[in-house]
Amino acid sequence: MPIVILLLMLCLPGMTWAGWLWGDDEPEQRVRVVEPFVVWRTGPAVGYPVFHSSEKGEWLTLLQRKTGWMKVRDKKGREGWVAVAAIAQTQDATGENVNLSVPDMKAFSDRKFEAGILMGEFEGSPVTAGYGGYWFTPNLAAELWGSQVLGSASEILMVNANIVHQPFPHWRVSPYFTLGVGHIWVDPKATLAVPEERDNTVGHAGLGLRAYITERYFIRAEFKDYKVFTSRSTNEEATEWKIGLSIFF
Amino acid sequence: MENRTKHLFLTGFCLAQVMAFAPQVFAQERDDWPLIEPDVKPVPVNEALIDTENFEIGAFLGVINIEDFESSFVYGGKLTYHLSESFFFEAGIGFAEGGQTSFENLAGNVQVLTDSEREYRYYNINLGYNLLPGQAFLSENYAFNTNFYLIAGAGATEFGGDTRFTVNAGAGYQVLLTDSLAIDLGVRQHFYRIDVVGAEKTSMNTEIRTGLSVFF
C-alpha cells in the first residue's frame, strides 16, 4: 500500500507538466539586458561554470526560477541560468526595471502564513514538532502544532493550538508569548511491566524568539510550560524547549 | 569686396537651404502619424507567470542493514524544499522488514519478535547542504549538472514494537538529467537506542539507496 501512495506522490508534479502537454498560451516573459553584460551558468548555483554571457540590448525570455536563479533563453534558443539579482537589473518591454519580489525584512514583518519544524527536549526526551500559523494582525497569530516525543519509557503524541502575541513585529529578532490548549496521548514502551495507555488535556504557556535570516526563512526557538490535567488528584507539569527553521509566505 | 560677395552669396545660399528644408521637416512630422493606431501596449513582466521549482518530490529504493536483523530491501519517498542554492530541507519516509537474528537461526524454533514487530518504518526531517555542485560528462555529447551533498537530521523509527528517536546522517550524489528530473545515489546511517536483544545499545543501520525525483 505505501508503495502505491509513493508512486502517486511521484506523479503529482505531472500536473505541472500539463501546460507543456496542452501547450500553454501564456505570454512570454521577456527582459532586455541594460547592464554591459550578464553571465550565464550551466546550473542554478555559483558553483556551476559560466559558459555564456549576454550583451547590453539582448532580449532574454524568463523560463523558470530555482531559489535565487532564473533559467533564461535567448533568441538563438540557448538556455542557461542567470542570477535573479542580475535579472532584477534588466528592463521589460515597458522600459522599467523588472519587478521581481525579493523576500526581505519587510516581507517578514508583513507575513500572513508561516510553517516550520522544530526539535528539542520535552521533559528530557527528544521532541520533534511541526506547526503552521496564520497572522490576523502583525501582533496576533493562531497556530496549530503536532509533536512527537520519544522517551526511553514512552512515546507521546501531542496536538496543540495556541495564540501568539509578538509585541515588536518589526524587529529582526522578535520575542513572543504563547498561550494555548491541546491534547496528549501517552503510549508506554512495550518492554515496560505495566503498559497503560492514557490521554489527557493539556494547557500551556510559553515564550520564544524569532530571528529573521534571509529570503523566506527564519530561526525560531521557544520554551513552553505544560500543565497536564490528569484524572488523578494531582496535575502533572512538563517543560519543553525547542529550536528550528521556519518559512513564511 | 570679394569677402562681401562671398558673404552675400553664402547668406543667400543658407537662407535658401533653410527655406527648402523647413517644409520638409514639417511634412515629415505629419508623415510620422501612423495610418493605423497600434493596439499593443508593452506588457510588464509578471512574476506570477514564471514557474518556480523549489520543491522536489522523489521515491527511492535500496538496501538497509538492520543491526542484528540482517539486511533487507528498503523503499520510501522524500519531499525536499530548496531554501537556497546550497541549503535544503528534506522530509523522508522509508519501509523495510527486519530478518532473523543469528540467535534465532541457531536456536531453531525461537522468535525474538513477532512478524508485525519486524516491520521497520522510519521518518526523518533533515537539513542538507550542496557541498560540491558540478558537471558530469557522458561521452562528448551530454553534460549533466550534479550535486554532491551532505545531509543530517532526526526522526523516528518504528521497529521491535516501539517507536524510537532516530538520528541520521549521510551523503549523496545527485545527477540532474534535466532541470526538473534527477537521479540520486546516497548512503545514510541511522542511529537509535534499542533493547530488544539484551541490554540497551545504540543500533547503527546503514542504508544504501538510489532514487528518482522531480522538481515542481
Q: Where in chain A is the domain with CATH 2.40.160.20?
A: 107-248
Please indicate, yes or no, if residue B83 is contained in any of the structural domains: yes
Q: What is the pLDDT of residue A162?
A: 95
Biggest CA-to-CA distance, chain A: 79
Confidence band, pLDDT 50/70/90 cuts, at residue B18: low
> Which amino acid, A193?
A
Find chain B residues with C-beta within 8 A of A64's C-beta: 50-53, 179
Burial of B127 (0-12, 13-18, 19+ CB in 10 A): middle
Residue B187: predicted pLDDT: 97
For residue range B33-72, list pLDDT tens digits in order. 666 766 767 777 877 788 888 899 999 999 999 998 999 9
**Distance, C-alpha A32 to centroid of its chain:** 33
How much of chain A, in percent, has pLDDT values that exceed 70?
A: 87
Residue A146, phi then psi, degrees to nearest 5:
-130, 130
Alpha carbons B128 and B87: distance in angstroms, whole number: 6
Return the pLDDT at B90. Answer: 93
Q: DSSP readout, A104-160?
A: -HHHHHT--EEEEEEEEEETTEEEEEEEEEEESSSSEEEEEEEEEEE-SSEEEEEEE
| HSE (side-chain half, CA atoms, 13 Å) at A212 | 20
Helix, strand, or coil (residue A163): strand
B8 pLDDT band, cuts 50/70/90, is low
Inter-chain CB proximity A247 and B81 less than 8 Å: yes
CA of B26 vs chain A CAs: smallest distance (Å): 29
- pLDDT band of A82, cuts 50, 70, 90: very high
Statement: A26-102 belongs to CATH 1.10.1740.10: no
Model confidence over A168-192: pLDDT tens digits? 988 999 999 999 999 999 988 766 6
In the predicted structure, residue B215 carries a pLDDT above the cut 50: yes
CB contact under 8 A, B163 and A150: yes
| A187-214 confidence digits (pLDDT tens) | 887 666 666 778 899 999 999 999 998 8
Residue B109 is predicted with a pLDDT of 84
Q: What's the CA gap between B58 and B80, in Å, rounded?
A: 8
Of B57, B75, B163, the CB nearest to A9: B57
Q: Which of A72-86, A96-110, A223-237, B190-204 has the lowest mean pLDDT?
A: A96-110
b/e code A25-56 from CB counts within 10 Å (16+ = b)? eeeebbbbbeeeebebbbbbbebbeeeeebee
Q: Mean pLDDT over residues B104-109, rounded?
A: 86
Which of B45, B88, B178 has the highest number of chain A CBs within 10 A, making it the mutation to test binding with A? B45
Rounded-to-integer distance, Cα B37 and Cα B26, Å: 21
What is the spatial distance between Cα B147 and Cα B174, in angstroms, rounded to a whole number? 5
Mean pLDDT of A35-57: 90
Q: What is the CATH number of the domain that holds B164?
A: 2.40.160.20
Residue pair A45/A69 in contact (Cβ under 8 Å)? The answer is yes
Cα first-last separation, chain A? 34
Residue B173 within a domain? yes
Can you count the helices (H) and strands (E) in chain A?
4, 14
Query: CA torsion B196→A146→A119→A236, rounded to 10°?
Result: -80
Structure confidence at residue B76 (pLDDT): 96
What the block records as the C-alpha cell of A111 is: 507575513
Residue type present at position A10: L
Q: Kindly state whether residue B176 falls inside one of the protein's structural domains.
A: yes
B27 pLDDT band, cuts 50/70/90, is: very low
Q: Domain spanning A107-248: which CATH class is it, in words?
A: mainly beta
> Mean pLDDT, chain A, as a whole number?
86
Residue B160 forms part of a structural domain: yes
pLDDT above 60: residue B26: no
Find chain A residues with C-beta within 8 A of B57's C-beta. Answer: 9-10, 12-13
Residue A114 has pLDDT above 70, yes or no: yes
Cell of A66: 530555482
Q: Which residue pairs from A95-99 have beta carbons closer than 8 angstroms and sit at least 24 positions apart in sequence?
A: A95/B42, A96/B44, A98/A31, A98/B44, A98/B45, A99/B44, A99/B45, A99/B47
Beta bridge partners of A50: A41
In this predicted structure, the answer to whether residue A65 has a pLDDT above a threshold of 80 is yes
ipTM beyond cut 0.90: no
Point out the residue among A63, A93, A101 whose CB comes nearest to the CB of B47.
A101
Range of the structural domain that residue B180 is part of = 47-215
- Residue A231 pLDDT > 60, yes or no? yes
Locate all alpha helices (DSSP H) within chain A, ordered by sequence: 2-11, 14-22, 84-87, 105-109
Range of weakest confidence among A13-22, A28-37, A74-83, A90-99: A13-22
The amino acid sitting at B80 is T
CA distance B121 to A1: 13
Nearest CA in chain B to A31: B45
**Residue B13 belongs to a domain:** no
Per the domain annotation, does B32 fall within a domain?
no
> Residue A45 and residue B85: Cβ atoms within 8 Å?
yes
Q: pLDDT of A142-166, one tens digit each?
A: 999 999 998 888 889 999 999 999 9
